[in-house]
Amino acid sequence: MCLGAASPIIRNNRFISNQALQESEGGGLRHGGGLFAYESGALIQGNLLEGNYAQHGGGGIGAEEYFGVIENNRIVGNEAHWGGGINIWSHRDGFPLPIVRNNLVLNNFYHWDGRGGGMILVFSSGLVVNNVIFGNQAYSGGGIEILSIASPPAAIRNNILWGNIATN
């Protein structure tokens, strides 16, 4: 977990078969089964995030009020309610924009009526570029879901989205 305006470099790690669950009634974050970044400018680079589970958002990577870079990662076979692979959630103006680039986002999925099998951006601007997003599944937004348009809106450019399924 990365909290509070920190900007660490998280590079060349393996996050495998981790879970983010609610700790007690009304408690617990439940985000980021593999990795969770909050109010962070972390560089998340060259990691394997595989088979992780988040009860709420970001089976592989959960990021709230995130302004860093997620690049060159393999995000494979993770599960969450929102954003099986990646969940970026921001509801504050004035944060620098996150960048998600050159990642393999593969075979991530949802539970219940989940959204964004590969990735979901909630109230979030940013740049999503040069990713391969393949074989993900969700109730809506099999590959990518953008929920609520931020200002400026997220830029989705030059990605390969293929074989993703929205069951809705």
Q: CA-to-CA distance for 47 and 64, rounded, in angstroms?
A: 19
Burial degree of 123 (CB within 10 A; 0-12, 13-18, 19+):
middle
* Closest to 40 (Cα-Cα) out of 70, 14, 15: 70
Query: In angstroms, rounded to a whole number, what is the distance separating the alpha carbons of residues 66 and 2?
Result: 10
pLDDT single digits (tens) 110-165: 887 789 999 999 888 889 999 999 999 999 999 999 987 777 788 999 999 999 99
- Are the C-beta atoms of residues 62 and 40 closer than 8 Å to each other? no
pTM here?
Answer: 0.92
Residue 25 CB contacts under 8 Å (≥ 6 apart), including other chains: none
Average pLDDT, the chain: 89
Q: How far apart are CA 91 and CA 136, in angstroms?
A: 26
